[in-house]
Amino acid sequence: DVKTLANDDARSHDLDDQLALAFRVSGLPVPDQIAKRTSPRPVAPEAWIRLSASGGDADAGGRLFEHPNSGGCFHCHTVNGRGGRIGPDLSLIARSSSRTKLAESILRPSKEIAPQFTSWTLVTRDGRVVVGVIVGEDREGHVRVGTPEGTIVELAASNIEERHPQNKSVMPDNLIDSFTPDEFRDLIAFLTALK
C-alpha cells in the first residue's frame, strides 16, 4: 500500500541521513550513493532556523538531548533535575523562548550570553590553561569550572595566576554538525515543549 511505501521511504531517507552524518563527523567523504539520497542540508543559520520553524517529534528530540553522541546537550544543561549544571537549566525554556530564539541559540551560541554563563580562561601558576564557565567557588578556596566537554575541573584559587573573561560561549559553535536536519527539528520540538 502507498502509506507503507511512504513510511519505508522515510525510514530509508532517515538512515541515509544518519549514514551521511556519520561519514561527515568521522571526517570521511560521503559516498555518492548515500549523498544523492540524503535530505538537503541547510548551510546558512537562517536556513536552519526556517527548517526548525515547525514540526518535529518532541519525544525523539528528548532522546537526542540525552544521547551522548548527538550533541551531548545533557552534559551541560539540566531538564527537570537531570543533566549537567554548566549551562542554563532548560526545564522551562519554552516559557521565555520561541522556536526561532531556541534555534538561534544553538546555531549562534555566542550571540547572547547571560553574565552568569560567561566563559573564562584561567591560567594556573604551573602554566595549565582551563577554559570554561565558573560554576562555583567555595570558602575553602576551590574554583569549579565547567568545560565545553561537560566536565567539571576543580582548581585551588591560590593556584590561579590569571583570569580572563571571554566573549565566546562555552557551547560549541559547530554543534549543528552533529544533527541531521530532522534531528534538529526534533530537538527544537522537544525544547519548545519544556514549559
| 134-170 tens-digit pLDDT | 999 999 999 999 998 889 999 999 999 999 999 999 9
Q: What cell numbers appear for 68 in the block?
A: 551522548
Indicate whether this model's pTM tops 0.95. Answer: no
Q: Nine-digit cell at 47?
A: 536556513
The pLDDT of residue 142: 95
The pLDDT, as a whole number, for residue 121 is: 96
Non-local CB neighbours of 146 within 8 Å, separated by 6+ positions: 76, 84, 85, 86, 87, 132, 133, 134, 135, 152, 170
Q: How far from 46 is each of 42, 53, 104, 171, 193, CA to CA, in Å?
A: 9, 11, 8, 19, 22
Closest to 16 (Cα-Cα) out of 169, 188, 153, 181:
181
pLDDT, residue 10, reads: 54
Residues 6+ apart with CB under 8 A from 20: 30, 34, 35, 38, 180
pLDDT of residue 14: 83
* pLDDT for residue 120 is more than 90: yes
pLDDT confidence band for 3 (50 / 70 / 90): very low
| Cβ atoms of 127 and 143 closer than 8 Å | no
Q: What is the pLDDT of residue 12?
A: 60
User: What are the pLDDT digits (tens) for 14-54?
Assistant: 889 989 988 988 899 999 999 999 988 999 999 999 999 99
What pLDDT band is residue 69 in, cutting at 50, 70 and 90? confident
The rounded mean pLDDT for the chain is 90
With left for phi above 0 and alpha for psi between -120 and 50, is residue 186 left, alpha or beta?
alpha
* Burial of residue 26, with CB atoms counted within 10 A of its CB: 0-12 exposed, 13-18 middle, 19 or more buried: exposed
* 79: pLDDT strictly greater than 70: yes
Q: Is the pLDDT of residue 2 over 50?
A: no
User: Is residue 132 left, alpha or beta, with left meaning phi > 0 and alpha meaning psi from -120 to 50?
Assistant: left
Inter-residue contact 80 to 134 (CB < 8 Å): no
- HSE-up of residue 127 (Cα within 13 Å, Cβ side): 0
